Structure 1
Amino acid sequence: MPAASLASAANLSPLDRVRRTTTLLVLTLLVAQIFVLLAAQLVVLGGFDWRQPAATLLVVVAAAGAWATLPPPASRLVLAACLPLAGALSIWAFAGNAWQTGMQVYVYILVAVSAGFCDGRTLAASAAAVAMFFIVGGLTVPESAGVRGGEYLRILMYVWLVVFEGALLAWLAQTMARSFQRSDEALADARQAHEELAQATSAREAMAAQARDERNRLMLALARRLESDVGGLAGEVAGAATDARGCADDLRALVRRGSDNAGAIAASGGDALDSAAQVADAASQLSEAIAEISSQVTRSSGVTREAAERARSAQAIINGLSEAASSIGSVLATISEIAERTNLLALNATIEAARAGVAGKGFAVVASEVKNLAGQTGLATSEVAQKVAAIRDSTHEAAEAIESIATVIFDVDAATSAIAAAVEEQDAATKEIARSAAEAVQSAGAAARGCEETLSAWTDTNGSADGIADLSKLLSGRVEKLQTVVDGVVAEIRTDAA
């Protein structure tokens, strides 16, 4: 990576920062590889073999040149290939030594370091470099690759291991790269959202400032409007209240004069009402007396009519009784005839029973009893006929007497009716007088009540005038308070707007 890129590391994405850190780590390991190799040879082998350190130095120089001159994708591929290749030179340095196996493991570890580039291509370059080392070294100088001559399967195994490791690590590197890319996208979205939020906040603050200015302008306008409109209206109301108080005083004076006149009229109306009431009382008493006379005459006429009606009823009853007595006579004649026939039949039955001898003895007894009963019936019928004849004669005499009484009663009823008609005419005239007197009383009463109502109305009007005056005073005080409140509100609005 160029030095200029290192200066701008603060602006890198998380993926680029990881790759930058891995690049620095690889460069550090490459430089340290020279000194580690020299120290290991001195400690393990007891001397130096300058071929391996020199080859390692060439690898380091190539890696540094690529890093300094090539763009990041190409420089990462060179660094990924140089690091395990420099480690593979350690396998050559410890050829025939027990440490050679450990150096092979070290090479596999260095291949894994390239996973930090988060690029499958760098793992492919690392694995390819190590595989070429095993193939070329195993075929040309087998000891340098850690194999003996002819162990091609072992060489193939080493190649397979490094290729398998590279494939796994390449998959892991690509997964990490995608994760970092998604993280970068999320971070970019977050930055964009932050910028949009900042813009929205700025716009909101600008709108709030504009709203505050507009509110202050409206509040000042409202203050001016309140001061002009409400203040002027309060002055007008105060003037109107003063005028109303003056009108109320004039109205009270007028009410006092009207009340005095209404009192005088009410007193005169009271005297007229008393006189009319006395006339009405006298007419009422006269009407009551005539009504009592008319009532007595009416009752007498009713009694007379009732007596006449009863006389007619009694006459009808007596006539019916006479007719019933006549009917009874006819019935008695029929009964007498039946009794005679029964007696004759009983006689015949007795004769027939005597002829029958002993067999008709019982029948003869019955016939004898029937004959006796027929004789008794004939006697009783004869007595009843005498009684009925006597009743018929008495009934005829009673009918004549009742007819005479009815004639007298009818004459009395006619006289009573004439008296009742005269009394009714007098009662009608008296009632007309009483009605006129009552109407006069009502008119006088209505006039008196009108005067009283007028006096009460003047009194109420006087109270209303007093109330209007009091309300005018109260309204004036409230208007002054309203003016004070409006002045205070206007002052507060102007202070807040400022």
Structure 2
Amino acid sequence: MRTFGYIFTRWISSMNPIFELRERVAPFFVAFLWLHVPVIAGLGFFFEDWLWPTVGASVLAGAATISWKFSGGEATTRYLIAVAQMGMVAVILYQFMGNAWQVDIHMYFFAALAMLAAFCDWRTIFVAAATVALHHLVLNYALPLAIFPNGTDLARVILHAGIVILETVTLMWITAKLTSAFSEAAEAIERAKSAERESQELAEQQRETERRANEDRQKTLSELAEVFEQDVGNLVEAVRARASQMNDHAETMNLVSMEARNRSDSTAQRAEEVRGNTQTVASATEEMSSSISGIVEQVAHSSRITGDAVNRVEQTNETMQGLANAADKIGEVTSLISDIAEQTNLLALNATIEAARAGDAGKGFAVVASEVKNLASQTAKATEEITGQINQMQHVTKDAVEAIQKIRETIGEINEVANSVSSSIDEQSGAVSEISSNTNRIADGTQLVTNEITELSGAADKADETSKQTVDAAKELVEQIDQLKGEVLNFAKHVRTA
């Protein structure tokens, strides 16, 4: 039955190679001790004294065996083996008592002592050396012939003791170094195993951390993709709706600008007719002035001319009234264009704000929104210029109407003068001069109106071109928003599968 000490020693030996070595060496020494029993018995038969030496050898071997069975390679077993080893040599030395080889048998003490170094235990060496010393000292006085052939010899005892001490010290130093080396090796192995275990634990923790991180990352990316797709998708849809609305307004503005251009062309044509009529009046007035010397003879003819002049002035007055009405309508159109430009500017500003909220993803249509805003601003500015020009045209038209009214009054006076032309030739001449002057002023005013309307037509053309550009930009913005929506969906899909 194994003792607790033996079990503990076996457990320690599994952790420390020095204990494992001692556990393995112990049975070899036990077997080696039992080999001495037949050898001693054989020597006993040879020297005719076999009983007591054989019994003594058996007792020594049996004691070591029992200790080994119960304690394994513990210190008790090692010490008993050391004593039994030296005892076996002492028994053999006793058997050679009186023989010439007795002195040579002493060498076996040195060999047996050196063999015990296999335990790598300096204490075992010390116990064996102490056993040899005790054996020599006791028998040197109790039974001297059992040690040396010539009996008591203290000098030899001291010599052998010195040699044993020298060997013992050397063996103890060697075994101590071996024990230290084994301990350091065991500690290094244990540290290596501990480091390996820690490395495995760290690797397992790293794998677990990576697995959790991958799960968290996948979950986070999936949630981010859903939020991104929902928020940005709603934003893109809102911007697309605004862009479509802006496109509709731009097309409406384009139609309005085309209508304004057509009306300005019509107004210019009418102004040209007024200018032609005014030139006709001027020519008639010049003819009247050139024939002033024969006005008496041409009174009747002058009356007819005066009647025609009245009719033409009435027509001119109606024409100028139509021009004033057209100018008012053009003013209404320019006001409508200005309102549309302001709405476009607000829509572009809203698109710019929405693009800023979208961050880098909205830079594409942010540029387009900025361009639309610039075009709307240019349209508003051009509309303001057109409005100013229309106001000037209305002012000139008012002057022309007043001038035509004066012409009408003057022609009435001419008609009255024609009835009394013979008595007021000089007054008739002055009236004709005044008619000529007023007619020239009317012609100049009509020319100015024509020029203003021409500029208005150019502004209308520019507004038409700007509205077309706005329509194109709005369509391009819608296309880019659709493309952005596709990119958002692809990005969200890529994030989910990442």
CA separation of 1:99 and 1:484: change in aligned 2, threshold 3 A: farther
CA separation of 1:266 and 1:5: change in aligned 2, threshold 3 A: same
Cα deviation for residue 260 of structure 1 reads: 4.4
Cα deviation for residue 112 of structure 1 reads: 1.9
CA separation of 1:246 and 1:156: change in aligned 2, threshold 3 A: same
CA separation of 1:49 and 1:224: change in aligned 2, threshold 3 A: same
What letter is aligned with 1:82?
A
Cα deviation for residue 145 of structure 1 reads: 2.5
CA separation of 1:469 and 1:97: change in aligned 2, threshold 3 A: farther
What letter is aligned with 1:27?
V
- Residue 486 of structure 1 is matched in structure 2 by 488
Cα displacement string for residues 190-228 of structure 1 (whole angstroms, at most 9, x for unaligned residues): 444344434433433333233223212211211211221
Cα deviation for residue 124 of structure 1 reads: 0.9
Whether the 8 Å contact between 1:22 and 1:114 is mirrored in structure 2 is: no
* 1:105 and 2:90 matched: no
Structure 1 CA distance, aligned partners of 2:224 and 2:479?
25
Cα deviation for residue 10 of structure 1 reads: 6.7
Structure 1 CA distance, aligned partners of 2:135 and 2:179?
28
What letter is aligned with 1:465?
S
* 1:23 and 2:31 matched: no
Structure 1 CA distance, aligned partners of 2:477 and 2:83?
103
Cα displacement string for residues 320-341 of structure 1 (whole angstroms, at most 9, x for unaligned residues): xxxxxxxxxxxxxxxxxxxxxx
Structure 2 CA distance, aligned partners of 1:204 and 1:227?
33
- Residue 61 of structure 2 is matched in structure 1 by 60
Which structure 2 residue ranges, 5 or more long, are not aligned? 274-444
Q: Specify the SS of the correspondent of 2:238.
A: helix
Structure 1 CA distance, aligned partners of 2:173 and 2:142?
32
Structure 2 CA distance, aligned partners of 1:75 and 1:464?
113
Structure 2 CA distance, aligned partners of 1:41 and 1:270?
164
Structure 2 CA distance, aligned partners of 1:458 and 1:98?
148
Whether the 8 Å contact between 1:138 and 1:147 is mirrored in structure 2 is: no
CA separation of 1:477 and 1:162: change in aligned 2, threshold 3 A: same
Whether the 8 Å contact between 2:122 and 2:173 is mirrored in structure 1 is: yes
Q: Which moved more, 1:452-461 or 1:82-91?
A: 452-461
Q: Specify the SS of the correspondent of 1:149.
A: coil
- Residue 80 of structure 1 is matched in structure 2 by 82
Structure 1 CA distance, aligned partners of 2:100 and 2:469?
127
Cα deviation for residue 459 of structure 1 reads: 4.2
- Residue 14 of structure 2 is matched in structure 1 by 11
CA separation of 1:155 and 1:73: change in aligned 2, threshold 3 A: same
Q: Specify the SS of the correspondent of 1:168.
A: helix
- Residue 34 of structure 1 is matched in structure 2 by 37
Q: Specify the SS of the correspondent of 2:248.
A: helix
Q: What's the TM-score once normalised by structure 2's chain length? A: 0.55
CA separation of 1:101 and 1:469: change in aligned 2, threshold 3 A: farther
What letter is aligned with 1:126?
A
Cα displacement string for residues 384-439 of structure 1 (whole angstroms, at most 9, x for unaligned residues): xxxxxxxxxxxxxxxxxxxxxxxxxxxxxxxxxxxxxxxxxxxxxxxxxxxxxxxx
Cα deviation for residue 125 of structure 1 reads: 0.2
Structure 2 CA distance, aligned partners of 1:83 and 1:263?
139
What letter is aligned with 2:251?
D
Structure 2 CA distance, aligned partners of 1:222 and 1:41?
99
The one of 128, 136, 148 aligned to 1:134: 136
The one of 461, 467, 475 aligned to 2:469: 467
What letter is aligned with 2:246?
A
Number of residue pairs aligned between Structure 1 and Structure 2: 325
Whether the 8 Å contact between 2:27 and 2:68 is mirrored in structure 1 is: no
CA separation of 1:80 and 1:269: change in aligned 2, threshold 3 A: farther
What letter is aligned with 1:467?
Q
Structure 1 CA distance, aligned partners of 2:269 and 2:147?
153
What letter is aligned with 2:122?
G
* 1:158 and 2:183 matched: no
Structure 2 CA distance, aligned partners of 1:64 and 1:445?
145
Q: Within 5 A, what are the aligned runs for 1:182-201?
A: 182-201=184-203
Whether the 8 Å contact between 2:103 and 2:149 is mirrored in structure 1 is: no
Cα displacement string for residues 17-44 of structure 1 (whole angstroms, at most 9, x for unaligned residues): 12222323322321223244456778xx
Structure 2 CA distance, aligned partners of 1:222 and 1:139?
102
Structure 2 CA distance, aligned partners of 1:35 and 1:204?
66
- Residue 218 of structure 1 is matched in structure 2 by 220
- Across the aligned residues of Structure 1 and Structure 2, the Cα RMSD in angstroms comes to 4.0
CA separation of 1:7 and 1:121: change in aligned 2, threshold 3 A: closer
CA separation of 1:228 and 1:78: change in aligned 2, threshold 3 A: same
The one of 164, 169, 172 aligned to 2:171: 169
- Residue 239 of structure 2 is matched in structure 1 by 237
Structure 2 CA distance, aligned partners of 1:23 and 1:470?
103
Structure 1 CA distance, aligned partners of 2:44 and 2:62?
21
Structure 2 CA distance, aligned partners of 1:87 and 1:262?
143
Q: Within 5 A, what are the aligned runs for 1:416-495?
A: 458-495=460-497
Which structure 1 residue ranges, 5 or more long, are not aligned? 272-442
Structure 1 CA distance, aligned partners of 2:114 and 2:188?
28
Whether the 8 Å contact between 1:30 and 1:86 is mirrored in structure 2 is: yes
Cα displacement string for residues 350-377 of structure 1 (whole angstroms, at most 9, x for unaligned residues): xxxxxxxxxxxxxxxxxxxxxxxxxxxx
Structure 2 CA distance, aligned partners of 1:154 and 1:196?
61
What letter is aligned with 1:54?
V
Q: Specify the SS of the correspondent of 1:90.
A: helix
What letter is aligned with 1:55?
G
Cα displacement string for residues 50-75 of structure 1 (whole angstroms, at most 9, x for unaligned residues): 44333221111122233345682333
Q: Specify the SS of the correspondent of 1:150.
A: coil
Structure 1 CA distance, aligned partners of 2:448 and 2:180?
113
CA separation of 1:119 and 1:451: change in aligned 2, threshold 3 A: farther
- Residue 150 of structure 2 is matched in structure 1 by 148
Q: What's the TM-score once normalised by structure 1's chain length? A: 0.55
Q: Within 5 A, what are the aligned runs for 1:375-386?
A: none
What letter is aligned with 1:207?
T
Structure 1 CA distance, aligned partners of 2:94 and 2:189?
47
Structure 1 CA distance, aligned partners of 2:161 and 2:189?
41
Cα displacement string for residues 278-302 of structure 1 (whole angstroms, at most 9, x for unaligned residues): xxxxxxxxxxxxxxxxxxxxxxxxx
What letter is aligned with 1:31?
W
Whether the 8 Å contact between 2:47 and 2:95 is mirrored in structure 1 is: no
Q: Specify the SS of the correspondent of 1:232.
A: helix
What letter is aligned with 1:74?
T
| Identical-residue share of aligned pairs (%) | 20
Whether the 8 Å contact between 1:2 and 1:67 is mirrored in structure 2 is: no
Whether the 8 Å contact between 1:23 and 1:76 is mirrored in structure 2 is: yes
CA separation of 1:133 and 1:456: change in aligned 2, threshold 3 A: farther
**Which structure has the bigger radius of gyration?**
1
Whether the 8 Å contact between 2:13 and 2:23 is mirrored in structure 1 is: no
Cα deviation for residue 162 of structure 1 reads: 1.3
